[in-house]
Structure 1
Amino acid sequence: MSTLSSIIDTDMNLSVTPELLKSLTPELLQIFTSPELLKGLQAFFSFIGNGVDIQGIFDLEDAFANQEVRAAQITYLKSIPEIAQIFEERYIGPTYNVEELIKLPEDSLGYAYASNIKAVNYPAGFYPKVEVLDDVSYYSLRMRQTHDIWHTVSGYGLTLFGGVGITVFQYAQNRDPLGAILLAGDILNNIKMHRDLDTYMLIVHEAYNVARQAKPFLAQKWEEAWEKPLAEWRAELNVAPVTYREPYLPLAAA
């Protein structure tokens, strides 16, 4: 384990001394004096060692909230007219009940989404709440609300390969810095675990291309058309079928 990762994994009151702070570059000083950035750094090291976890994702998202790269991402998103409209409206969407959605026709978005949620036993609104104060916090809330809808419509389901696919898909569509960090941590974890990276990179390549040819998911008001057939949503948004679904296994088991 590196010196830096050893430091951030211990009691900060004991580890961060005035002498240490004086020795840090401005970039590292910013990390060690920001609880959000420190938690984000801890999450990244955890991803390398143990794989991506949901709480770590939220910690990293908080770490990027006030960074210039997040502001640049929002500027890019608002340069797309239909997404700019969503930001202007601060569209949230009506509340819904998964038990009601599962009663919709089996070809509908609502049924497919509810089936995915129930299959992994996710509780409604499991993600941390976000108070909308600006464009960044609105983006964070909207993505937390609709992340699993993106899984459903893109075809990258709530599976091991689907997690990789949707991370790349969201990065490609939104230029989300969080996606770049998640991907980096996951690739490093795969190296550590001696997994087959060839299949992994096929998923990455395909997901990026599918996302770039699809229309903006962030601009969609999914909650107003749960009953619309999933196939119709995909056709309207120009979503190509997913090809690579194979798991990326340890090399010894391949």
Structure 2
Amino acid sequence: MRIEALQQFLMDSFMTLKGTVSLFANPTNTLSVYDIEDGLRNDKSTVLSIEYIKSQPGVMDMVRDRYLAPLPDIDTLLQSPPDSLGYAYATYIRDNGFDPAFYRNLSVEDDTSYLFQRRRQTHDIWHLVTGFGIDEESELGLKAFELAQTRSTMSAILLAGGLVRTLFKTPERLDYLLDRIAVGYRMGMQAKPFLAQRWEEDWEKSLAQWREELNVQVPSTYVP
């Protein structure tokens, strides 16, 4: 192994280990998720995931263009039609006290870093279009959707961790979690590729129209 490759391997391993330890210590720490994902960027599973994503219709156009939208202006989006994606996004960010720039930025140097960055940039849009909430089980439902669409190693790790954590800490919520995971995976398999969408160029399109065009069936409320 050449010295450069060895250095990269050691750095990736350190990032993965650091993120894993941090995630187990504090499952709500988003930065630990990024540490793990960044540490796995050269792993075989990630390479295969990126190949799978790029094989989907419309994604290669995004990859070639390195399409990344500027940070949205929430006040401007609040002037959008009430049924639009832009208005839904702005109210979602405002009402939950979120920061639209919460995600860790990556220097886009290759297809992998581009797709990582684009997925991070549009995470909250995925929430809105799929209809998944922000409770832990719904977050994992979205991860199941993401796994179906991207074969992401990080999604699989978070799903596995969520199942284990629920079994030991909140076993009474296991049925709800399994329902959200099953629903999310089916939705992801049926929907058109989200990473092929230039959401920010069509903020005024209605949320209902986006869902219809992408074949998204919003999950019904869970009933035990």
> CA 1:195–1:53 in structure 2 vs 1: closer, same or farther (change >3 Å)?
farther
Can you list the C-alpha shifts for 1:146-198, whole angstroms capped at 9, x where unaligned? 00000010101333332122111111111111000001111111111132312
In 1, Cα distance between equivalents of 2:53 and 2:129: 20
Q: AA paired with 1:106?
A: P
Structure 1 residue 34 corresponds to structure 2 residue 13: yes
The equivalent residue for 2:96 is 120
- Give identity over the alignment, percent: 39
1:205 aligns with 2:179: no
| Counterpart contact for 1:116–1:158, Cα < 8 Å | no
Q: Residue 144 of structure 1: which of 120, 130, 134 is its match?
A: 120
Question: What is the total number of aligned residue pairs between the two structures?
Answer: 215
Name the structure 2 match of 1:231.
208
Q: What pairs up with 1:158-173 in 2 under 5 angstroms?
A: 158-173=134-149
CA RMSD of aligned residues (A): 2.0
Secondary structure of the residue aligned to 2:50 is: helix
Cα deviation digits, residues 57-108 of structure 1 (max 9, x gap):
1111112112111111111111123112211111112442011111211100
- In the alignment, what sits opposite 1:57? 33
Which residue does the alignment assign to 2:59?
83
Deviations 1:33-79 (A, max 9, x none): 83212213313433xxx534312211111121121111111111111
Contact 2:71/2:100 (CA < 8 Å) preserved in 1?
Answer: no
1:251 corresponding residue in structure 2 = none
d(CA) in 2 for partners of 1:76 and 1:109?
Answer: 27
Confirm or deny that 1:108 pairs with 2:81. Answer: no
Whichever of the two has the greater Rg, that structure is 1
State the secondary structure of the residue aligned to 2:171: coil
* Residues 183-222 of structure 1 aligned to structure 2 (within 5 Å): 183-196=159-172, 197-222=174-199
TM-score (normalizing by structure 2):
0.89
Q: Which amino acid aligns with 1:38?
A: L
AA aligned to 1:67 is: D
Which residue is 1:132 aligned to?
108
Contact 1:52 1:185 survives alignment (8 Å)? no
Q: Quick one: distance in 2 between partners of 1:209 and 1:32?
A: 36
Supply the distance in 2 between the matched residues of 1:55 and 1:204 (Cα, whole angstroms): 23
Deviates more, 1:149-158 or 1:215-224: 149-158
Task: For residue 122 of structure 2, give the secondary structure of its aligned residue in structure 1.
Answer: helix
Say whether 1:98 aligns with 2:74: yes
C-alpha deviation, 1:31, in angstroms: 7.2
Q: Specify every segment of 5 or more residues in structure 1 that has no aligned partner in the other structure, as ranges.
A: 1-29, 249-254
Q: Report the alpha carbon displacement of residue 245 of structure 1 after superposing the two structures with TM.
A: 4.0
Q: TM-score, normalised by structure 1?
A: 0.79
Structure 2 equivalent of residue 43 of structure 1 = 22
Assess, with a 3 A threshold, how the Cα gap between structure 1 residues 229 and 164 changes in structure 2: closer, same or farther. Answer: same
Cα separation, 1, equivalents of 2:98 and 2:115: 22
For the 8 Å contact 2:69–2:200, the answer to whether it is kept is yes
For structure 2, the 5+ residue unaligned runs are 1-8
AA matched with 2:19: G
- In 2: Cα distance, 1:33 partner to 1:169 partner: 26
Aligned-partner SS, 1:130: coil
Name the SS of the counterpart of 1:34 in structure 2: helix
- 8 Å Cα contact 1:31-1:38 kept in structure 2: no
